[in-house]
Amino acid sequence: MLKKDTKVNYIIKMSDKLQDIIKKQSIKEEVKIEKEEQFICFKLLEEEFGINILNIQEILKPFNHTRVPDVPSFIKGVINMRGIVIPLIDLRLKFNLQEKKYDNNSRFIILNINDKIAGFIVDELTSSLKIKRKDIEKSPDTLDSENTIVEGIGKEKHRIITLLKSELLLKKDF
C-alpha cells in the first residue's frame, strides 16, 4: 500500500503524463488538418477559372434577359430573379475574348457578396473543387496584386485553374 504522500505524487505524475500525451496528440491533429477552399470551376474558351463557392448564390441555365440601352457591350442586360433585377455580364466580353452564343453548356453564375448581386455568363461548368491553401499560388508578379481580378493560381493534379476574386467581379470596373 502506498503512503498518502506517495499517492499524491503518483497522481500528479500521472496527470502530467496524461497532459503531455494530450498535448502531443493535439499537435499531431493540427498538422493533419490542412485548410482548403472550395471553388466552382468553369471555362471561358479553353481557359479554366474558379470562384469561391461561398460567394455563389445560384447557378442557372440561360434564359431570356432584357437588354438595357447605353451600357457597355459586356453587360448583356438584366434578369428578373424572383422580383430582384440583376445585371447580367458576359465574362468573355469583359475579359476581351470573342463573343459566343449561349448553348446547352452555358450557365449564369449569380454572385452575392454583402447584398451586391450580379449574374455572369460562362461557357460551361467544369467541376466543384476543393483546393488546399498550400496548392494556391499568389497571382503572378507581373500583375498588380492589389488591383488584379486574379486571386491566385490553383493547382490540382494536371490542371491549373485561375482563381478569381469574387468581390472584384462585382465592382463596376476591374
Pairing of strands 124-132, 36-44: antiparallel
Same domain for 103 and 80:
yes
Task: Report which residue type is found at 167.
Answer: E
pTM: 0.75
Q: CA–CA separation, 31 vs 34, rounded Å?
A: 7
pLDDT bracket for residue 170 (50, 70, 90)? confident
Q: How many other C-beta atoms can be found within 10 angstroms of the C-beta atom of residue 150?
A: 16
**Domain membership of residue 77 as a residue range:** 36-169
Torsion angles phi and psi, residue 9, rounded to 5? -60, -40
Q: CA–CA separation, 53 vs 37, rounded Å?
A: 8
| pLDDT digit string, tens, across residues 67-111 | 999 999 899 999 998 899 999 999 999 999 998 988 999 999 999
Same domain for 123 and 81:
yes
Same domain for 80 and 116:
yes
**Residue 139 near residue 150, CB atoms below 8 Å:** yes
Q: How far is CA 174 from the centre of its chain?
A: 18
Same domain for 19 and 86:
no
Same domain for 134 and 71:
yes
C-alpha cell at 53: 463557392
User: Is residue 90 a part of any domain in this protein?
Assistant: yes
Q: How many other C-beta atoms can be found within 10 angstroms of the C-beta atom of residue 136?
A: 18
* Average confidence (pLDDT) over 30-58: 87
Q: Which position has the higher pLDDT, 73 or 1?
A: 73
pLDDT at 174 over 50: no
CATH number for the domain including 62? 2.40.50.180
Q: CA–CA separation, 86 vs 113, rounded Å?
A: 13
pLDDT number for residue 36: 87
User: Is residue 174 a part of any domain in this protein?
Assistant: no
pLDDT at 65 over 50: yes
Same domain for 62 and 2:
no
Same domain for 41 and 86:
yes
Same domain for 150 and 73:
yes
pLDDT number for residue 146: 65
SS3 of 2, please? coil
- Name 152's bridge partners: 138, 163
Highest mean pLDDT: which of 9-13, 19-23, 98-102, 155-159? 98-102
What's the structural domain count of the chain?
2
Half-sphere exposure in the Cβ direction for 63 (13 Å, CA): 8
C-alpha cell at 74: 459586356
| Number of helical (H) and strand (E) elements in the chain, helices listed first | 3, 11
Same domain for 53 and 20:
no
Torsion angles phi and psi, residue 168, rounded to 5? -75, -25
| pLDDT digit string, tens, across residues 150-163 | 888 988 888 889 99
